[in-house]
């Protein structure tokens, strides 16, 4: 890989991580609070927000296999980002429970494999640029939008959640065209090489415990902040403090 190509991909990855994780800085902190404010119960919020991890578990492999088979990989990625970015817009106009569920399924399925694909590219460049040095831009993006979205929601109302998410999502299409989707690391692993070793079983078990413990924080933290009579701006600051430590570890991995 030539130096100019490496630089282009590094810039694309950094910008993409920044903008893509900027959308997560809106979804993770504020989705539960948004649904609470528009009238959904705690049980309904838990069910709705379980759609995304469920989609990642069931759809990601099929998403990435379809991606590797298509000839127009940049268009495939851009289309999926576009669909996921606009999928939440109808939430401004309807709170019908069935429609909301369908919208969240579309959102989840369209973006399920994006980060695994981009991570594969970033990890393949680890000998030239450490993965953590690229990925930390995602944490910076998360911080920026978790603070900004909180401020905008306090000033303009609950639906600022939808518009800030859409804006960050659509902008992330631009750097996706700087990425090289033809590299060998994106080739699917042969079934014969897919072995669930004891080490992987332990890893997956630990991951299940971690994600289970994180679900309450991501789904209901901002609701509890509001109940404690703090603004969503303050909730954004609280999320940002936690992510700052992530930047330190990513830089020094």
245, containing H or E segment: helix 232-251
Q: What per-residue confidence (pLDDT) applies to 253?
A: 67
Q: Where are the alpha helices (H) located in 70-227, listed in sequence order? A: 73-86, 97-111, 114-124, 131-156, 160-171, 173-176, 198-227
Neighbours of 149 (CB within 10 A): 27
Distance CA 239, CA 7 (A): 31
Report the half-sphere exposure of 110 (CA within 13 A, side-chain side). 20
For 86, the enclosing helix (H) or strand (E) is: helix 73-86
Q: Which domains does the chain have, with CATH numbers?
A: 3-251 (1.20.1250.20)
**119 vs 140: CA distance, rounded Å:** 17
pTM: 0.87
Phi, then psi, of 38 in degrees rounded to 5: -90, 5
Q: Residue 28: its pLDDT value, please?
A: 87
Per-residue pLDDT of the chain in tens (253 residues, 90 and over written 9):
566 667 778 888 999 999 999 999 999 899 999 999 999 998 999 899 988 888 888 888 888 888 888 889 899 999 999 999 999 999 999 989 999 999 999 999 999 889 988 888 888 877 778 888 888 999 999 999 999 999 999 999 999 999 999 999 999 999 999 888 776 555 555 555 567 788 778 877 887 787 777 777 778 889 989 999 989 999 999 999 888 888 877 877 6
CB 22 within 8 A of CB 141: yes
Provide the pLDDT for residue 21.
94
Measured CA to CA in angstroms, residue 245 lies from 131, 212, 214 at distances of: 17, 21, 16
Contact 192, 72 (CB under 8 A): no
Tokens of 130: 């450490």
Rounded Cα distance between 142 and 26, Å, is 8
Residue 237 makes CB contacts below 8 A (sequence gap 6+) with 147, 150
Contacts of 76 (CB under 8 A, 6+ apart): 66, 67, 70
Contact 102, 213 (CB under 8 A): no
Closest CA to 125 of 3, 242, 249: 3
| HSE value, Cβ hemisphere, 13 Å, CA-based, for 51 | 20
């Amino acid at each position: 890989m030539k130096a100019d190509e490496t630089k282009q991909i590094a810039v694309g990855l950094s910008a993409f991580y920044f903008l893509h994780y900027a959308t997560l800085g809106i979804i993770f902190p504020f989705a539960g609070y948004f649904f609470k404010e528009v009238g959904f119960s705690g049980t309904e919020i838990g069910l709705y927000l379980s759609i995304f991890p469920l989609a990642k578990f069931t759809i990601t492999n099929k998403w990435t296999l379809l991606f590797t088979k298509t000839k127009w990989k940049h268009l495939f990625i851009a289309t999926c980002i576009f669909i996921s970015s606009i999928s939440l817009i109808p939430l401004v106009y309807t709170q019908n429970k069935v429609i909301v569920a369908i919208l969240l399924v579309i959102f989840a399925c369209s973006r399920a494999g994006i980060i695994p694909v981009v991570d594969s590219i970033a990890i393949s460049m680890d000998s030239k640029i450490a993965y953590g040095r690229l990925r930390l831009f995602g944490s910076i993006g998360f911080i920026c939008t978790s603070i900004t979205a909180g401020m905008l929601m306090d000033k303009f109302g609950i639906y600022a959640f939808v518009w800030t998410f859409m804006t960050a999502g659509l902008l992330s299409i631009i750097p996706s065209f700087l990425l090289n989707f033809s590299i060998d690391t994106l080739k699917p692993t042969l079934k014969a090489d897919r072995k669930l070793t004891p080490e992987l079983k332990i890893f997956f078990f630990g991951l299940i415990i971690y994600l289970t413990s994180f679900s309450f924080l991501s789904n209901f933290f901002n609701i509890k902040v509001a109940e404690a009579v703090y603004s969503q701006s303050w909730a954004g600051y609280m999320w940002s403090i936690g992510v700052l430590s992530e930047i330190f570890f990513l830089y020094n991995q």
